Amino acid sequence: QTIQAVNTIFGAIQQQTTCSTCRGRGKVPEKVCTVCGGKGTERGKEDLKVKIPAGIDDGATIRLRERGEAIGGGARGDLYVNIRVKAHKKFTREADIILSEEHVSMVDAALGTEIDVETVDGMVRMKVPAGTQSGTDFKLSNHGVPHLRTTARGPHIVTVVVDTPTKLTKKQKELLESFKGAKKRGLFS
């Protein structure tokens, strides 16, 4: 420790601080290291394998015990890794729920069909019942985000988007025109 005397209008004041040469250790090395400059630490890089648990949230922190810095020959501290979850091109995540959209034709929505849905586990066959409207949600249980430290999983919600044709032949237009009067007869209730 060092003591400094400072003269002020109130008189001399003594101030005690940690020695900047030995940093409070009470010892100064005879030869100063060219790598660390006598600080007792050196900068370096180390590649680490970190196990990221499935279902971890964006912004979560993983603590790696004794993988951090060791100052002045002391014990190594902990290293904290901040997690950033990259957005997926097809899936959206809300807590433990995975959301996606699947497009079906107007005919398949009206008559019903089965479609293959991409999930994080691979392809899953899903039934689209007859009369399905655009924007209808279907739930695939246990195909969502895994819960941390358990075997439970959230659902995968599939929103069906009904594609309406934009280019029709004359015959196709005539067939669709025949449905216009059907609404009045209660076909679309």
**pLDDT for the residue 5:** 81
Whole-structure pTM value: 0.69
Please name which of 113, 105, 50 lies closest in space to residue 83, comparing C-alpha atoms: 50
**pLDDT, mean of residues 124-150:** 95
For 88-117, the pLDDT digits (tens) are 999 999 999 999 999 999 999 999 999 999
189 has a pLDDT exceeding 70: no
41 has a pLDDT exceeding 90: no
Q: Confidence band (pLDDT; 50, 70, 90) for 184? A: low
For 47-96, the pLDDT digits (tens) are 999 999 988 999 999 999 998 887 766 788 999 999 999 999 999 999 99
186 has a pLDDT exceeding 70: no
Q: Are strands 156-163 and 137-140 parallel, antiparallel or unpaired?
A: antiparallel
As a whole number of angstroms, the distance between CA 35 and CA 11 comes to 44
**pLDDT, mean of residues 22-51:** 78
- What are the residue boundaries of the structural domains of the chain, listed by start? 92-165
CA angle 136/105/107 to nearest 5° reads 100
Q: Are strands 97-105 and 92-94 parallel, antiparallel or unpaired?
A: antiparallel
Architecture (CATH level 2) of domain 92-165: Sandwich (2.60)
**pLDDT, mean of residues 139-159:** 94
**pLDDT for the residue 187:** 64
As a whole number of angstroms, the distance between CA 125 and CA 140 comes to 10
38 has a pLDDT exceeding 70: no
Q: How far apart are the first and last CA of the chain?
A: 88
Please name which of 178, 138, 152 lies closest in space to residue 96, comparing C-alpha atoms: 152
**pLDDT for the residue 32:** 76
